[in-house]
Amino acid sequence: MSRNGSMRKSLNKAAASIYEGLGRLIRLASYFWRSGRLAALVVIGTAILQGLAPVVELWALGRLVDRLSAFISETGGAYSGGILSGLREVLPWVALIVFSRLAARALAHLNSYAGTIMQETMTLVIHSEISSKAAAVPLRDYELPEFHDKLSRAKSGMGLNFANLFVMTFMLLRSIVTLAGLVVIATRGHWLIPVLILAAGLPVLRLQNKMNDQRYALVHGNTLRNRMKSYVLRLLTDRSSAKEVRLFGLGPYLTERWYSIFEEVRKRTFRQAVRQRTRMALAQTLPVISFGVSLALLLGSIVSGRLTLGAAVSVIAAVLSMQSNWETCIRTAGYIHELFLRFVKDLLGFLDMPEREEEGRQLLESFEPGGCDITVDNVSFTYPGSSEQAVKGIKLRLKPGEKVALLGENGAGKSTLVKLLLGLYEPSEGAIRYGSQNIAEVERSAVWGRVSAVFQDYAQYHLTVRDNIGFGLVGAMNDRALLRKAARGGGAAVFVERWEQEYETYLGPTFGGRDLSGGQWQKVASSRGFMREPLFLALDEPTAALDPEAEADVYRRFRDMAGDRTALLVSHRIGFARLADRILVMKDGELIESGTHESLLAHGGEYAKLLSAQSQWYR
């Protein structure tokens, strides 16, 4: 590549980086502005005025010294006019210095007050954005490690890092205003003084930004290691794994594994820090040399008599302050750049993740209480990052009001098919239709508002019973009659209604609530599924922790509650299958059998083999 071509490529890359940075800065400013316009204006205004206060004080100090010098020269030091005469000469400048200091402190308190409001409001806005995005991205994204890396980095920017970014930005604004005033004053000594001091700091600023890029790349590369470190630590400290950690003696092994990951990350960070500190120490010799040259120029101006005594005092103070202020600007700018990379870039990268486009999609048609035909037309699905299809070429029709049992061994694809039927996943191939509508063309909320399910990996909410069951239909959480009906349908009412606070009882140990058994948690989850009266109902193996009698009871009540609605009952245990109108059997992602209990037994296929294999344990 030619020299011109290489330079053009570098310039284009720099321009693209600047354009991208400005775009992010504008978006960050929009969050700032949305968090409260009045508070934003107060924070900006007070930061600027705070920056001006030291400059005003220096200028007033110079004028004070000049007036004192002139007064002494005029009176010959005899003070013939008396002390009051001398005070009248200098009092305005003393008052201005005192006022600037009082104003700076008052402005600092006002800035802090408005800044606290802004920080809290902006943090709320950012938290809401992240939570909304996490809830809006397609469910299949949760199967990707890359998604969890992005989410982890976005969440790490919330709280202290975000507050620091906010505070540092206005510290930099204040310092820049002060620096500009000091430059004006220092120029009176010699025009080269501010040029030398500012120019000498530019290489340091450039090196610092380069170091920030390197640190960000290291942090980005360590994301998976840090997530693994946090996961191993959670295994050591989490209640759910505490039994096995002790029973199997995993404590020393997991501790060693955590330590090895920690050491790997620490060594990478330490090696980088040593290299960077060495380079920075060398780079910082240039500002020291420029400062010495600037003082020499200033002394030359004073000796030559080009400056009055007051001007000399203010210029000397300005040069001393400008050096330290410029270094503060460089450090603050570097810190902001690092936080900008590690927070804003990661945050906006997460918030920019694509969502399912809802605009222009259809609403779901209205159906009779019995539901509608649900047609699965040659559907296949492959999980992100996998080369194998989880379900393959499924063709199926569920009739209105039909109760269907879906059987198969673990890993057969049953749960994946349920998520496809509920609209949680979109097929890689084929289509699923409710009535005549392809649900891929229907708004998600319209589909999810008309279906209900109880999953095998149900959530345990460490909140009240009302919350745990009412989450099945949030808008009806305060409908006590519906809540009781759902709890009875799912089997939770048996123990909940014996408690003193009944549905206001907290569950789980997080907030000091009742600790439930696995079977009780499953009954609470089943009750959540009974809150709705959907056109399609799915029960995806939620009874694994129940004894056979309790499991059969749940399935019977589920069938009763389903009424004339379409229902799919999923399990790898087939004892309940006789309750269904029809039985489907899956194997290796394919639907291989369909029929009644009697017809499938007569066929002597997979269903008969499963029944025989499971029956032998009861003989």
199, 290 contact by CB (below 8 A): yes
Residues of the chain with pLDDT under 50: 1, 160, 360
CATH 1.20.1560.10 fits 37-208+277-351, yes or no: yes
Domain 370-450+534-619, CATH = 3.40.50.300
Number of helical (H) and strand (E) elements in the chain, helices listed first: 21, 10
Predicted pLDDT of residue 371: 63
Predicted pLDDT of residue 365: 60
Predicted pLDDT of residue 504: 92
- Other Cβ atoms less than 10 A from the Cβ of 410: the count is 8
| Terminal Cα-to-Cα distance of the chain (whole angstroms) | 80
Q: Where are the alpha helices (DSSP H) in 157-250?
A: 160-186, 192-221, 223-237, 239-247
What residues form DSSP beta bridges with 407?
Answer: 571, 585
Residue at 137: amino acid letter: V
How far is 493 from 465, CA to CA, in rounded Å?
10
- Note the pLDDT tens digit of each residue in 23-42: 666 777 777 777 777 888 88
Tell me how many degrees the CA angle 452-454-456 measures, rounded to the nearest 5: 150
| DSSP annotation string for 438-506 | EGGGB-HHHHHTTEEEE-TT----SSBHHHHHHGGGGGGTT-HHHHHHHHHHHT-HHHHTTSSSGGG-B
Predicted pLDDT of residue 360: 47
Q: Copy the structure tokens of residue 304.
A: 């030559």
Q: Delimit the CATH 1.20.1560.10 region(s) of the chain.
A: 37-208+277-351
- Note the pLDDT tens digit of each residue in 74-124: 665 555 555 555 567 778 888 888 888 898 889 888 888 887 887 777 777
Q: Delimit the CATH 3.40.50.300 region(s) of the chain.
A: 370-450+534-619
417, 391 contact by CB (below 8 A): yes
How far is 131 from 604, CA to CA, in rounded Å?
51
Residue at 205: amino acid letter: L
| DSSP annotation string for 228-280 | HHHHHHHHHH-HHHHHHHHHTT-HHHHHHHHHHHHHHHHHHHHHHHHHHHHHH
Buried b / exposed e over 434-473, threshold 16 CB at 10 Å, is bbebebbebbbebbeebbbbbbbebebbebbbbbbbbebb
